[in-house]
Amino acid sequence: MSALPWGLLPDSSTVGVDGQLLVGGCDLAELAEEFGTPLFVYDEAQLKARCAEAVAAFGDGVAYATKAFLCRAMARLAHEQGMHLDVASGGELAVALSAGVPADRIVLHGNNKSDEELITARDAGVGRIVVDSFDELDRLEGLFGADGIVPQILLRITPGVEAHTHEFVMTGQDDSKFGFGLKVGDAARAVERARAMDAVELVGIHAHIGSQVFVAGFFEQAIEALAPFVNQTGLPELSIGGGIGVAYIEGEEAPSITEWGAVVRKACDHAGITARVSAEPGRAIAAAAGITVYRVGTIKEVPSIRTFVAVDGGFIDNPRPALYGSGYETFVPAAVTADRTEVVRLVGKHCESGDVLVSEAKVPAGLVVGDLIATPVTGAYGRSMGSNYNLLPRPAVVFVADGQARLVIRRETEADLLATDVG
- Residue ranges of domains in the chain: 6-43+287-419, 44-286
CATH class of 6-43+287-419: mainly beta
Q: Are 188 and 229 in contact (CB under 8 A)?
A: yes
- CATH T-level assignment (fold) for domain 44-286: TIM Barrel (3.20.20)
Which of 26, 71, 268, 351 is an active site residue?
A: 351
What distance, in Å, lies between the first and last C-alpha atoms of the chain? 54
Residues 328-371 have pLDDT tens digits of 999 999 999 999 999 999 999 999 999 999 999 999 999 999 99
Residues 86-129 have pLDDT tens digits of 999 999 999 999 999 999 999 999 999 999 999 999 999 999 99
Residue 261: is its pLDDT beyond 50?
A: yes
**CB burial of residue 63 (10 Å; 0-12, 13-18, 19+):** buried
CA–CA distance, 386 with 348 (Å, rounded to integer): 13
CA–CA distance, 278 with 298 (Å, rounded to integer): 48
Q: Is 351 a catalytic residue?
A: yes
DSSP string, 136-155: HHHHHHHHHHHH----EEEE
Residue 170: is its pLDDT beyond 70?
A: no
Q: Which pLDDT score, from 0 to 100, does residue 387 have? A: 95
Residue 208 has phi, psi (to 5 degrees) of -150, 125
Are both 6-43+287-419 and 44-286 of the same fold?
A: no
